[in-house]
Each structure stands twice: as C-alpha cells, then as structure tokens.
Amino acid sequence: MRYSLTLLGSICAGLCFHAAAATAIGNVNAKRLIAAEASANDAGNWLSTGRTYSEQRFSPLEKITDKNVDQLGLAWQFKYDLDRVVQATPIVVDGVLYTTGAYSMVYALDATNGKLLWKYDPKVYRGIQASGCCDAGNRGVAVWEGKVYVGVYDGRLEALDARTGKKLWSVDTVIDPERNYTITGAPRVVRGKVIIGNGGAELGVRGYVTAYDAKTGKQVWRFFTVPGDPAKGDETDTITMIRTTWFGDQYWIQGGGGTAWNAFAYDPELDLLYIGVGNGSTWNYGLRSEGKGDNLFLSSIVAVKPDTGKYVWHYQTTPGDSWDYTATQDIIVATLPIDSKPRKVVMQAPKNGFFYVLDAATGQFISAEKFGSIVTWAKGIDKTTGRPIIDKEAADYWTEGKGKTVFPGSQGAHNWHPMSFSPRTGLVYIPQHTTAEHYAPLRKAGKPQKGVWNLGIEVPAVPEDKAGRDELAKLFTGKLQAWDPVQQKEIWSVPYPIMSNGGTLATAGNLVFQGTSIGTLNAYAADTGKALWQRQVSSAVVAGPISYAVKGEQYIAFNVGIGGAFPLAFGVVGERSPVVPDSRLFVFKLGGTAVMPELKRQTVRMPSPPPMTASAADVATGSALYGDNCAVCHGLGAYGGHALPDLRHLTADKHAQFQLIVYGARAHLGMPPFGGRLEPADSEKIRAYLIKRAHDLKNELSAEVAK
C-alpha cells in the first residue's frame, strides 16, 4: 500500500509537471495583469496591448538606457507572409511573442530568436477590402489563460490555443451582414470577458462593443454607442437617454457611426472599462442629424461596468462631430498631480487636436489644451462646461452648404498610432501630425451599400500639379511631441517630414522609441528629446514598438510594414518618401550582431502609358469615378504606389486586362471586384483618367530630367 502510494505520487509528480507546463503557455490572468501595474512585477512581459490595463505603454525595464542605447544591434528579424500593413503591438508572455500581420494572420514566435512556433490564418476573403475604410490592418491579439484572441477583419472574434494556434472557438460579432462592419482593433480581456468593437463608420454602420466569455465565446453583453431604428425599440435606458440628442431619421438609416475600433482601457480599482468612440455616419452633421444635437456618444470616452456593460459616465470631445474627429485614439489611465494632489485621470489626444485630462472615476473635465499644430474648428475648450468653443465660421460646412477647409482633417492631429506615458518623466509622447481637409457637403445622403463609402461630403480633390502638391506635402508633416499633461504644454518635439508616423514606447531607461513614415527606427532621451540611436528599414512604421526581457536580456521590438489610411489615400503627401512594401518584425538588444536585411528604396520610374485618345469629358468623368471608387486605396489624385500598385504605372498587359482586374481577376490578391458598382463603360473612363495621370507624371519627370 505504502509502496503503491509512493508510485502513485511519482506518477502524479510527472503528470503535475506536464500539467503545469501546459497551463504556463499564455498564462495571463487578472491577478497578473493588475500586479504588473507596479513596475517590479512582470517587468519583462508585455501582457496586453498597452502592456497593462492602464495602457501607458511604459516598460519598466532599464538595462537599455540613454547611456548605452547606441550599442543596440539587431537580435533577430521575422519576415511576414504578406508585404502589407503591419499595425500590431506584439504581446510577450514568458518568452513567447504573439503578433499579427495583414488580414488578421496570427504568429507565435520564440521571443529570443524569432523562431516560428505556430501561425494561424483566418482566411479572410481578400476581396472584402472595399468593406473597410483603411486597409487590411490588425492591431494585435489579446492573451488570457492559455488562449490567444484575434479580431478578424471580416468581423469574427476567434480564440486560439496559445500553445498550438489551433482554433478553439469563433463567433461572428456582426449584427447586420448587409452593412460594412470590419475589425482591425486588438481585443482586451477584462474580468474574464473578451471586449471587442468594430469599424465601418465611413461606410454606414451603427457602433457597438461586445463582451464575450473568454472561455466559451458566449456573448455576455453588448453596448451600443448610438441609437438605432426607433421602431425596433431602445435596447436600454441609456439608448433612450442618448436618442434625445439626435434628430430626424437619417441617423439610424445611415447607421449613425460611433464605432469603437481601437481604444479601450480598464481601471481595476474603479472597476471601469473606458471605451473610445468614433465619428458619425454620415460625417455630414446636417445630413445625419439636421445639424442639431450632441449626437451621443459620438467622439466620446464612455465608462461602463465590465461585468454588465452598464453605462457609468461619458465625456464628449466633439459634440455633433462633422469632421471624422474620432475619440478612438488610445486612452491612458494614470495618477497625476492635479492642484498638487494625486488624482487618477484618463488622458486622450483625439483627432480633434485637443489633449484631454478627465477624472477617471467621474469623467469630470479637468483640462484640455491644443496639442495640434494647427487647429481651426474650435477656439478652445470652455473651462467651466468642458465643451468646445466651435468656430462656426471656420468649420460649419453643413448649414449653408459651403465647402470649407478645416484643420485638422479626417486624419486628425493624432490618429490611432499609440502614444505612451512615462511615470518617470511625467510626459506623454504623442505621434502628432498636421492635416487639413476640404469638407464640401453633398445635398443628399445616399443609402448605405455594401462596399461603398457614405460620408455625405464630396471626395476631397487634391492638387494634380507639382506646385500644389508640394505645397500640400509641406503642410502634412509630423512630429514626436513630448507633452506635459499637468501643465498642458509641449516640452520638446522632434519634427518629421511626413505625417502618420509610428506609435511610441517609453521606458525606464529614460528612452522613447518611435518608427517613422520614412523608414527610420529611432530612440530619443525621454527627458530632453535628444536623438540617441537610429536604424533605417525598407518600409514605413505605423505600429507602436514594445520592450520585453527574457532571461535578463532586454529587447526592443518594432513592427514595420507600410499601409493604412494615410499611405493608401495620401500618396500625394508621401510620394517622395523612399519606403517600399516590406513587412518585418525587427528585434534589437545591446550588442546584437544579426545582419539587417538589404535596404530597399523606392526608385523613380518613368511610366510608359498608351496614347491619350479619350475625350476631355470622359477623362473628367473618369476622375470623379476614380475618386468615388479607387482613391481610398490607390491614392487621391492617383498619387499612389507605396503600399498598393501605382496605377499611373500600369503596364501594357495590365491595360489589356483592365476590365478583368476591375471585375475580380485579382480579388485573391485584395483587389475587390466592382461588379454591380461600375459599368464597363465607366471603368474605361477611369482607365482614361489613369492614362492622363500617367502622362502628367511622365511630363513632370521629363521636365526634371531636362533641368
């Protein structure tokens, strides 16, 4: 008896060892995530998209410092399957790094050497791209109790086994398949529930956030951010409350918008989940809500209870948003000295160009100042009411139907590229940029259709001549901005030649890391902004970098890969950037000796278009059709070519296959089929416009050569 017990004991010991090892993969839980807020705990891991629930993107690691960062060398690099947009913040748990590439593909890598442990392809239909606004990006996964969660571009939320990548469950988060819902954001897991929102406000949807049981995928609650069809009844008292801030019937027909496609944060002490809510659908306030009412919860931070999704408070950054001023930019929870007393706050630098500090418990307005370089839509924020003082003369384009150029434009003074906060310096590091947009209203809202944009404004025209384009490019610049959230002012900044640079990482080594649109990876002193280290890479950086440690070695990881709204639509600004599509994850350490891949650069190519035979009228019609159907991916004004093909360079065989391509021949590569949307005669007019633009480019390049 005694003998067998011992035998049983030894068998059990063996099994127990295996059982422990099995649960140790992807071992993130509430206790661990909450403890990691204190810097001594889990310093080497990056457990959630913003590292912890407060989303500060601050690494407590301090082996790499402002004194030795010049010795940073490549440890390893990983090449993605697709040379397409990479937006993911990797998650690192106990030596395993989880990241995503375009079309929601998930990768698990050995964090010490980049060896592929497994990958998962959710097999998104590539031709779906027209149903999203801003490329097939994915901002990363969540990891929780042995599972990896990914929000899939087509609206699925899936749970994978963290050890094998095998799919455990899959749910469809989309409430209406006839509307253009997509997911690009990273899920968060709070109190055992996976939290996910969606995108689509440019194409006519109603926003909502859903919580699913992390174990089973069963829906726990759903929080709608805007009211729906009144005939169907209000889902909650909160919907009844916010419906009083909307007018007419277009808002629910058009979807209303308010998508929560990016920002979430959680405070465990207050037990509040913070949701960043997006812009209106349509953009045009006059068409959407008769130009009346605040239109809650557009452009708001909303706090809810994570167990029930019950509303607690909201703060609206842009009442009656009419400019795509989302409040989906990342939300950071921190304790700041306010009036010399520590106060827990939430901070956000939304698109509208004002930096907000709010009380985390109540949503009470504390302060807001302009962080954007040029902000014209509002004169300031009223300190008593916390409401913007909107400059109607400068920004109201709907009342009289007169187009206006407003700063910032729809790309904002800051977009989703994450900012970071260092509790050491007390500064927030913002990937800021300057943008503008001409908002010219349409008189009538169209009916939302699958794969069709529906803004209620004209597609903005861009200058097609060199002088006008250069003027625009001079304006649309970026900077890394170190912002003091207590004094509400800039402390230092680093200028960049082009907008839409990567997210930032702050570390305890007095460092800030950021990649750029022009293909550089940079480290700066967190206190002074002094440039300390740089590497060049072939592609652009939009993602936020992270730091982690395995066995005492600290690493810095940069996801690199061009794509997203800016490079696709705004080639007019980025045309002179040297970067090319080349998607990789680069990981550095002190004394790293791995060899950087060969640097590839954009080369100037002379197009050889067919002769221009179409009439001026057909070219003009083609230009308008191009704007409505093609510009969002291939570039306004047909300035393109950074992330997707530059259509001014179509070869003779592509011209010959033009109709086939428009109607689906390259759908497997991501070119959506336009059957039912474009008649062949119309697509020929688009081709005529592209031939004209190719000749424009050829003439411009010839003139340069002649000089």
Binding site for Ca ion (CB under 5 A): 279, 324
Q: Which two tokens stand for residue 626?
A: 């191009």
Decide whether 324 or 437 has the Cβ nearer to Ca ion: 324
Residue pair 360/85 in contact (Cβ under 8 Å)? The answer is: no
HSE of 542, CA atoms in CB hemisphere, 13 A = 31
Cα–Cα distances in angstroms (integers) from residue 510 to residues 338, 527, 530, in the given order: 23, 7, 11
Least spacing, CB of residue 328 vs Ca ion, in Å = 8
Least spacing, CB of residue 281 vs Ca ion, in Å = 9
Contacts of 240 (CB under 8 A, 6+ apart): 234
Least spacing, CB of residue 569 vs Ca ion, in Å = 12
Round to the nearest angstrom and report the end-to-end CA distance of the chain: 98
Least spacing, CB of residue 126 vs Ca ion, in Å = 23
- Secondary structure element (H or E) that encloses residue 196, with its range: strand 193-196
CA nearest 54: which of 423, 396, 491, 411?
Answer: 423
DSSP secondary structure of 302-350: EEE-TTT--EEEEEESSTT--S---S-S-EEEEEEEETTEEEEEEEE--
Cα–Cα distances in angstroms (integers) from residue 58 to residues 45, 332, 479, 480, 544, in the given order: 11, 11, 20, 16, 11
Decide whether 279 or 516 has the Cβ nearer to Ca ion: 279
Least spacing, CB of residue 616 vs Ca ion, in Å = 34
Decide whether 279 or 348 has the Cβ nearer to Ca ion: 279
Decide whether 66 or 324 has the Cβ nearer to Ca ion: 324
- Kindly list the catalytic residues: 324
Q: SS3 sequence, 209-235?
A: EEEEECCCCCEEEEEECCCCCHHHCCC
Least spacing, CB of residue 375 vs Ca ion, in Å = 18
Decide whether 329 or 510 has the Cβ nearer to Ca ion: 329
| Exposure string over 592-611, b if 16+ CB within 10 A, otherwise e | bebeeeeeeebeeeebebee
Q: Which two tokens stand for residue 9?
A: 């004991």
Least spacing, CB of residue 406 vs Ca ion, in Å = 15
Q: Which two tokens stand for residue 254?
A: 């058009």
Contacts of 220 (CB under 8 A, 6+ apart): 193, 211, 212, 213, 307, 309
Q: How far is CA 656 from the centre of its chain?
A: 37
Amino acid at 106: V
Cα–Cα distances in angstroms (integers) from residue 87 to residues 99, 155, 515, 541, in the given order: 9, 17, 12, 8
Residue pair 150/184 in contact (Cβ under 8 Å)? The answer is: no
Q: Which two tokens stand for residue 340?
A: 């010399």
Decide whether 155 or 581 has the Cβ nearer to Ca ion: 155
CA nearest 167: which of 147, 153, 187?
Answer: 147
Decide whether 276 or 627 has the Cβ nearer to Ca ion: 276
Decide whether 267 or 324 has the Cβ nearer to Ca ion: 324
Least spacing, CB of residue 241 vs Ca ion, in Å = 24
Decide whether 351 or 648 has the Cβ nearer to Ca ion: 351
116 forms beta bridges with: 109
Least spacing, CB of residue 201 vs Ca ion, in Å = 5
Decide whether 135 or 527 has the Cβ nearer to Ca ion: 135
d(CA 334, CA 57): 11
Least spacing, CB of residue 565 vs Ca ion, in Å = 8
262 forms beta bridges with: none
Q: In 520-656, where do the E strands start and end? A: 520-525, 531-536, 546-550, 553-560, 584-590
Amino acid at 515: G
Decide whether 299 or 507 has the Cβ nearer to Ca ion: 299
Amino acid at 552: G
CA nearest 204: which of 283, 301, 302?
Answer: 283
Least spacing, CB of residue 462 vs Ca ion, in Å = 19
Decide whether 83 or 324 has the Cβ nearer to Ca ion: 324
Least spacing, CB of residue 140 vs Ca ion, in Å = 20
Contacts of 640 (CB under 8 A, 6+ apart): 568, 571, 634, 646, 647, 648
Sequence-ordered alpha helix ranges (H) in 337-414: 392-395
d(CA 587, CA 92): 12
d(CA 458, CA 533): 43
Decide whether 279 or 299 has the Cβ nearer to Ca ion: 279
